[in-house]
Amino acid sequence: MATAAACAMIILTGPIWWVVILVGIFWFAAAAFFRDPLFRKPATNDSTDLVSPADGVVSAVLTVDHHPATNGPATIVRIFLSVLDVHINRMPCAATVVSMTHTPGRYLDARSAESAQVNESNLIVVKTRDGDLLGVRQISGAIARRIVCPISIGDSFDRGQRFGMIKFGSTTELIVPTRSTMTVRIAKGDRVVGGVTILVALPPQSTNP
C-alpha cells in the first residue's frame, strides 16, 4: 500500500503527471464513444413500426421518385450522429439482408446536406417478413472514416438488433417505400434513440388499396 502511494505521488508530482491525466481523458472519451447501451426495447410492440437505426438528431425527412433500396419511390429519414452520440447501428425491423453496396467517396462534414450525396457510404438492403424492401445507409463524415458492418447477405436480424457502427461523427439513413398508408412519426430536428424511437409506421403491402 505504501509503495503504491509513493508511486502515485511521484507520478502526480513529477514532470509526467500531465501525461497520465491526458491518457485518462482519452481513455474515458474512447469508452464513452464506444458505449453500447444494453436492454433497449422498441417503444411499441407493433412489428410494422420501424425503429430508429441510430441515435442522433433527424436532419432531414424527404421523398425521392426512385431509390435503389426500394426499387421505387422512397421516403428517407436522415439522422445526424455527433461525436457524443452512441454510434451503434440497429435494424429498424425483423429482416434478412439481401444486398450490401459500399460506395467510396469524400469525407465532408456530416452536418452538410451535400455529405449525404458524395461521402463514402454503405447501403444495406433488407427484406422484411412482409416482403418489403428497406434500406439502411451508413454515411461517413469528416471525422468518421471507418464504416463497420460485419454482416453478410442472408443474415437475419430482429427489430432493434445491432448490425454495425460508424466511428465518430456521421450520418445514418432509413429508406422505406413511400405509401399512402404509411405514417412518418418524427420530424426534422427531433432527437431519436436507436432501437427505441419509432420513425415510420409501415403497414404490410396487403393493406394497400
pLDDT given at position 77: 98
What is the layout of strands, in order, in the sheet containing 49-51?
A: 49-51, 198-201, 183-184
Query: What pLDDT, on the 0 to 100 scale, is given for residue 31?
Result: 43
What DSSP line would sit under the chain, residue for residue? Answer: -HHHHHHHHHHHHSTTHHHHHHHHHHHHHHHHHT----S---S-S-TTEEEPSSSEEEEEEEEEEEETTTTEEEEEEEEEE-TTS--EEE-SSSEEEEEEEEE--B---TTSTTHHHHB-EEEEEEEETTS-EEEEEEE--SS---EE----TT-EE-TT-EEEEESSSEEEEEEEE--TT-EE---TT-EE-TTTSEEEE---GGG--
What residue spans define the domains of the chain? 2-33, 49-207
pTM (2 decimals)? 0.81
170 in active site? yes
- Residue of 47, 112, 170, 206 marked catalytic: 170
Give the pLDDT of residue 8.
52
In the block, residue with C-alpha cell 491518457: 23
| Confidence at residue 63, expressed as pLDDT on a 0 to 100 scale | 96
pLDDT tens for each residue of the chain, 209 residues long: 555 445 555 555 556 655 555 544 444 444 444 556 777 899 999 999 999 999 999 999 999 999 999 999 999 999 999 878 888 999 999 999 999 999 998 888 777 888 888 899 999 999 999 999 999 999 987 765 578 899 999 999 999 999 998 876 689 999 999 998 999 999 999 999 999 999 999 987 754 44
Q: Which amino acid is at 207?
A: T
pLDDT of residue 178: 96
Q: What is the pLDDT of residue 22?
A: 52
CATH number of 49-207: 2.70.70
pLDDT of residue 207: 43
Q: Rounded to an integer, what distance in angstroms lies between the CA atom of residue 22 and that of residue 159?
A: 39
pLDDT (0 to 100) of residue 32: 45
